[in-house]
Amino acid sequence: MYNFSEQFRATKSIIDLGYYNDPSWVKETLSSIKELKKSLPKNPTVYSIAENLNQPEWYVSQVLVWCYLPEEKLKIELESHGSILFYYLRDYITPNEEEDIYEQLASAKVKNATAEHINKNLLEKFSNNSFKEKKRMTKEEIQIEKLKGIDQTVWSFLNSDIESWGVDNEFKSLIKKIGKSSNYNLGKRESLFFIDSFTSYSKVGYLDVKSPKKKASLYDELKTILG
């Protein structure tokens, strides 16, 4: 069994092939990412992992996001483009551009097709001084922004209640971080993890309270944001 560093490098060597048109590559990538998630250090930070492994922070960030994507969603990403760089770059293109790229990639006939040419074109576009596109926010990042507008009292209620929910340390630390100030910032992986975990706790009924009235009202607001 690999340790985390070894598993990361093994997973990276598979991911970097990017053979989105090859079902065996997709299957192997899913399996390797699953193993990587099992070996993640507790409360990982992008910076610490990037430093320890001598990898770019953007790359580590995207790998961690893939670790927390639901398997079916990740499979769709792998089959449609298979590129961790494109997954990162597409936040800076329009939905129409993204759709056109998917159509180009889908026309490939060979199993070892990659999105390398797409990424090259996008990087050239981004290096152009006339490029003014703003980063697109993910659904989870939008939900995080909405949470910033909720009455801060809700985080005091949650800090107390989550002790009986059996939450993991990362979720607990994020609740405390968010409760300290409405000006908090979460990265893409943290946003994905937080919203996914919070939604799971909401679905099992932890936010279904009747009293006190203020808590019940704020928890109902949370459920609306989480969807």
Please compute, for residue 37, the number of CA atoms within 13 A of its CA located in the half-sphere on the CB side: 17
Cα-atom radius of gyration of the chain, to the nearest Å?
A: 20
The pLDDT value given to residue 133: 55
Phi-psi bin for 82: left (phi > 0), alpha (psi -120 to 50), beta?
left
| Alpha-carbon torsion (85, 45, 176, 37), positive or negative | positive
Q: How many beta carbons lie within 10 A of that of residue 109, not counting itself?
A: 6
The pLDDT value given to residue 88: 84
Q: Which residue has the higher pLDDT, 128 or 126?
A: 126
pLDDT in tens, 156-190: 899 889 988 888 888 888 888 887 776 677 777 78
Phi-psi bin for 43: left (phi > 0), alpha (psi -120 to 50), beta?
left
Does an H or E element contain 197, and which?
helix 188-203
Token pair in block for residue 123: 């990087």
pLDDT band at 152 (very low <50, low <70, confident <90, very high): confident
- Spell out the residues 6+ positions from residue 155 whose beta carbon is closer than 8 angstroms to its own: 175, 178, 179
pLDDT in tens, 1-53: 679 999 999 999 999 999 999 999 999 999 999 999 999 887 767 778 888 88
Report in angstroms the alpha-carbon separations of 116 from 91, 97, 106: 17, 16, 14
- CA–CA dist 13, 125 (Å, integer): 27
Polymer length in residues for the chain: 227
The pLDDT value given to residue 137: 66
- Residue in 136, 137, 139, 138 with CA at minimum distance from that of residue 226: 139
The reported pTM is 0.61
Residue 114, pLDDT > 90, answer yes
Mean per-residue pLDDT, 126-152: 71
- CA–CA dist 99, 128 (Å, integer): 22
- Residue in 110, 146, 133, 128 with CA at minimum distance from that of residue 223: 146
